[in-house]
Chains A and B, each alone.
Chain A
Amino acid sequence: MSYKKSITVFAPLLFLALFLPGTVFAQESANCLTCHSAMKGKLKTSGGALIELNVDTEKFRSSVHGSLSCTDCHIRFSDNPHSSPSASVPHQVLSISTKISSKYGVDPVAAAACNKCHEEIYNKVLGSVHGRNIIDKNQTDGALCLDCHGSPHYITSAEDPLSKISRKNQVETCGRCHGDKKIIEKYNLQENVMNSFQESFHGRKLHLGHMRAPVCASCHNSHDIKSKNDPSSPVFGKNRLQTCGKCHEGANEKFIPAITHRPPGPIPHYAEKALILLTMGVFAFVVLHVLLEAFSDIRDAIFRKGREE
């Protein structure tokens, strides 16, 4: 066979080969989706948890995980009616699944399976204040992957405006816990963080579509988030010099107190009250004067016509 001929034969074969694994995965997922794309509503498991049965095929396919097979994450099931897939659970995933089982009673293995591909990030999260809250304190309301990224079936790129962690939605996503009074009280979190951000120049600019305005993670980091009292937090003490300096080159110690989530102190508070009083006073005088003058002009035009000059 000549060189040219061999190309014409093998090239299409090689091209087809590209589709091989994809087709296999798709077929396998398709089997699950035959039922789960049609099923509606939630099901109560024997453990008492409500699980969503429906998977939107189209949304799943267009998500970043669309090419994965269901059993990549759902390695085994704790509940019927499914028989467990034969695949063995990787050691790492198994070890994480036991740590997070307090939060994910139904299928901790699936929740831990993110670690298969996102090992580095998953370990960061487990070491973060969010992760430790689940592992060490066995809390169920602390944040793990899905709490910020949404359902793993529909995760899209962070650049996608619909993503729960996009610049457009991130503040709201964090606010689901950090603006929740019960959670703030329970964990003794800083109050009023959502409001103070929205009122700040950062928050206003972000809302108006400024491309370089920061979101929560810009200053607080994301996966390896730390308590603000942790000396390794990017917003702890002098660490802010570097954090603010990411955007504000040359940030110094007198500059960094400019942005905080703390409520305003007495000086700005009373200064604002005084300025509002001044504004209202001037406003009252000006409007009263203008209206009275206009009315007196009308009065003169009607009753005192001819008397003036």
Chain B
Amino acid sequence: MSQTDTTTQQGIPKEIERFDIIFRIQHIVMFTTFLLLSFTGWGLKFAHEPQGLSSIWIRIWGGAETAGLIHRIAGIGMLLDFISHVFYLVYLFATKKMTINLKTTVIPLPKDVFDVIQNFMYFFGLSKEKARFCKYSYAQKFDYWAVFWGMFIIGFSGYALAFPMQVSYIIPEFTTGWIWELLGIMHSDEALLAIVFILFWHFYNEHLKPDVFPMSWIWITGKISTEQLKHHHPIEYDLLFPQEAQKDKKE
């Protein structure tokens, strides 16, 4: 991600760009397809819900056939979105528009583990300091890599379940006794994990938390205010505005 806004003569900019338009579109496609997949898939996973609740729910989505079609289309949409993201990252690295820096990277580092410990100590009152984050907090890294895990486990198993005939030609002979069962279990169980994760982790951190309620607007503006940056990502703030950081320290 390019950081085009730099220190001006008047001081520091009010906000800086966090996610460019491509990333924002990828995020919108991701959550739209995620919601469609969750809603339609839930009905199938808990098909035998008492009182026929799932049957009613699936009828709202146009019946089993239509819900299945929505699920497949959204699934393909999500896979394409994921692939486009990977390709975009490759492009950004190839053109040196993005480089790996330990203070701005989304790659998990040992520091993230210490940050978790630090924060838990703070929660329990054992420390007066919250963890100081770089560009991405461990919560955000967790959010980001959860999608990768989900895409590998749920995405590929989902593809195999949606197109079993095509996939049956490429699976090895010795796996046929258990692979189909395994694919179903992977898809269904990890989908539940993904839903639970988004519902608690993502919704709390990006929507319900007092700081951000009703939501963090970065998903649509792509920009974070310098004030928020200083508060939530102090190490990145120091990195971007070293002079300001120096001044603050002297004060």
Residues of A within 8 A of B (CB): 198, 201, 203-205, 207-213, 248-255, 257-259, 264-265, 267-268, 271-272, 275-276, 278-279, 282-283, 286-287, 289-290, 292-297, 299, 309
Q: Assuming the A-B contacts A264-B181, A268-B178, are A208 and B193 also in contact, with contact meaning beta carbons closer than 8 angstroms in the complex?
A: no
- Interface residues in B25-72 by Cβ distance below 8 A to A read 43-44, 47-48, 54-55, 58-59, 63-65, 67-68
How far, in Å, is A114 (CB) from chain B's closest CB? Answer: 35
Q: Assuming the A-B contacts A286-B197, A290-B200, are A208 and B184 also in contact, with contact meaning beta carbons closer than 8 angstroms in the complex?
A: no
A275 contacts B186, C-beta separation under 8 Å = yes
- Interface residues in B162-188 by Cβ distance below 8 A to A read 164-165, 168-169, 171, 173, 176-178, 180-182, 184-186
A208 contacts B47, C-beta separation under 8 Å = yes
With a cutoff of 8 Å between Cβ atoms, the chain A residues found around residue B197 in the complex are 282, 286
With a cutoff of 8 Å between Cβ atoms, the chain A residues found around residue B185 in the complex are 264, 268, 271-272, 275
With a cutoff of 8 Å between Cβ atoms, the chain B residues found around residue A203 in the complex are 47
With a cutoff of 8 Å between Cβ atoms, the chain A residues found around residue B109 in the complex are none
How far, in Å, is A211 (CB) from chain B's closest CB? Answer: 7
Q: Assuming the A-B contacts A205-B44, A252-B169, A278-B193, are A258 and B164 also in contact, with contact meaning beta carbons closer than 8 angstroms in the complex?
A: yes
A208 contacts B58, C-beta separation under 8 Å = yes
With a cutoff of 8 Å between Cβ atoms, the chain A residues found around residue B43 in the complex are 208
How far, in Å, is A11 (CB) from chain B's closest CB? Answer: 48
How big is chain B's contact interface, by range? 35 or more
21 pairs from A and B in contact (CB 8 Å cutoff): A204-B48, A250-B165, A252-B169, A254-B168, A254-B169, A255-B165, A257-B177, A257-B180, A265-B178, A268-B185, A271-B185, A282-B193, A282-B197, A283-B193, A286-B196, A286-B197, A292-B120, A294-B204, A296-B123, A299-B125, A309-B231
What is the CA–CA distance of A105 and B210 in the complex, to the nearest angstrom? 78
- Contacts A248-B165, A268-B185 given; 9 further ones with Cβ under 8 A? A208-B58, A208-B64, A211-B64, A254-B176, A258-B168, A264-B178, A265-B181, A275-B186, A289-B120
A292 contacts B123, C-beta separation under 8 Å = yes
How far, in Å, is B176 (CB) from chain A's closest CB? Answer: 5
Residue on B with the closest CB to A279? B193
**Does B217 sit within 8 A of A, measured CB to CB?**
no
**Does B192 sit within 8 A of A, measured CB to CB?**
yes
With a cutoff of 8 Å between Cβ atoms, the chain A residues found around residue B201 in the complex are 286, 289-290
Q: DSSP class of A's interface residues: helix, strand, loop or mixed?
A: helix
With a cutoff of 8 Å between Cβ atoms, the chain B residues found around residue A271 in the complex are 182, 185-186
| Choice from A207, A279, A293 contacting B189 with Cβ under 8 Å | A279
What is the CA–CA distance of A179 and B161 in the complex, to the nearest angstrom? 28
What is the CA–CA distance of A259 and B180 in the complex, to the nearest angstrom? 8
Q: Assuming the A-B contacts A267-B182, A290-B201, are A209 and B176 also in contact, with contact meaning beta carbons closer than 8 angstroms in the complex?
A: no
Q: Assuming the A-B contacts A257-B180, A268-B178, A283-B196, are A248 and B204 also in contact, with contact meaning beta carbons closer than 8 angstroms in the complex?
A: no
Q: Assuming the A-B contacts A282-B193, A286-B200, are A208 and B123 also in contact, with contact meaning beta carbons closer than 8 angstroms in the complex?
A: no
B55 contacts A209, C-beta separation under 8 Å = yes
| Choice from B54, B165, B177, B192 contacting A208 with Cβ under 8 Å | B54
Residue on B with the closest CB to A201? B184
- Interface residues in B74-132 by Cβ distance below 8 A to A read 119-120, 122-125
**Does B190 sit within 8 A of A, measured CB to CB?**
yes
With a cutoff of 8 Å between Cβ atoms, the chain B residues found around residue A272 in the complex are 185, 189
What is the CA–CA distance of A276 and B178 in the complex, to the nearest angstrom? 18
What is the CA–CA distance of A204 and B17 in the complex, to the nearest angstrom? 47
With a cutoff of 8 Å between Cβ atoms, the chain A residues found around residue B210 in the complex are 297
B165 contacts A251, C-beta separation under 8 Å = yes
Residue on A with the closest CB to B61? A208
| Choice from B63, B124, B180, B186 contacting A258 with Cβ under 8 Å | B180
What is the CA–CA distance of A281 and B172 in the complex, to the nearest angstrom? 32
With a cutoff of 8 Å between Cβ atoms, the chain A residues found around residue B58 in the complex are 208-209
How far, in Å, is B67 (CB) from chain A's closest CB? Answer: 8
What is the CA–CA distance of A293 and B184 in the complex, to the nearest angstrom? 35
A265 contacts B177, C-beta separation under 8 Å = yes
What is the CA–CA distance of A213 and B63 in the complex, to the nearest angstrom? 13
B169 contacts A296, C-beta separation under 8 Å = no
How far, in Å, is A213 (CB) from chain B's closest CB? Answer: 7
| Choice from B176, B184, B193, B200 contacting A287 with Cβ under 8 Å | B200
B204 contacts A290, C-beta separation under 8 Å = yes
A209 contacts B63, C-beta separation under 8 Å = yes
What is the CA–CA distance of A299 and B164 in the complex, to the nearest angstrom? 53
With a cutoff of 8 Å between Cβ atoms, the chain B residues found around residue A279 in the complex are 189-190, 192-193, 196
What is the CA–CA distance of A203 and B192 in the complex, to the nearest angstrom? 20
A252 contacts B168, C-beta separation under 8 Å = yes
What is the CA–CA distance of A278 and B193 in the complex, to the nearest angstrom? 9
B193 contacts A295, C-beta separation under 8 Å = no
With a cutoff of 8 Å between Cβ atoms, the chain A residues found around residue B182 in the complex are 267-268, 271
With a cutoff of 8 Å between Cβ atoms, the chain B residues found around residue A286 in the complex are 196-197, 200-201
